[in-house]
Homo-oligomer: A and B are copies of this chain.
Amino acid sequence: MNIIIDFEKGAGLVPVIVQDADTKEVLMQAYADKEALELTLKEGYAYYYSRSRKSLWKKGETSGHLQKIVKVMVDCDEDCLLYIVHQTGAACHTGEKSCFFRELIK
C-alpha cells in the first residue's frame, strides 16, 4: 500500500463511507481500524470496527448482507475511506437498503 492512512487523527479509527457500485447510493457510514482495513483489502469484503462493541466486525457475517469490495478510495488528506461495494440485501439493520432513509426536517 503506497498511501499511508492517518489512523491517529481519529484515535486509531477512520470513518468509512460505503457507496453502492451500481446505483451510487450512499449506503452507510462506519469506522475502520488498521486491522479492519487490512482484512477488507485482503479478503475483498468489508470489515469495520464497532465502537459500541469495541471489536472487529465483518459486515453481513450474521445477516448474510455482505459487502463485496469493488474499489477502496482514499480522500486527499488520507483520513477517510470510501468503499465502493456490491451490497447483498440491505445495508441497514432496519431492512432499508440504505441507512440514510430519512430527511431532516428543515
* Chain B, residue nearest A79 (CB): B29
How many Å lie between the Cα of A41 and that of B104 in the bound state? 9
A72-B103, A72-B104, A73-B100 given. 14 additional CB < 8 A pairs? A1-B104, A15-B15, A15-B29, A19-B26, A23-B24, A24-B24, A72-B106, A73-B103, A74-B102, A74-B104, A76-B92, A76-B101, A77-B99, A82-B100
Residues of A at under 8 Å CB distance from B?
1-3, 9, 15, 17, 19, 23-26, 28-29, 41, 51, 71-77, 80-82, 92-94, 96, 99-106
Q: List 20 A-B contacts (CB under 8 A).
A: A1-B105, A3-B102, A3-B104, A3-B105, A17-B17, A17-B26, A19-B26, A23-B24, A26-B82, A28-B75, A29-B75, A71-B103, A72-B104, A72-B106, A74-B100, A74-B102, A74-B104, A76-B92, A76-B99, A80-B99
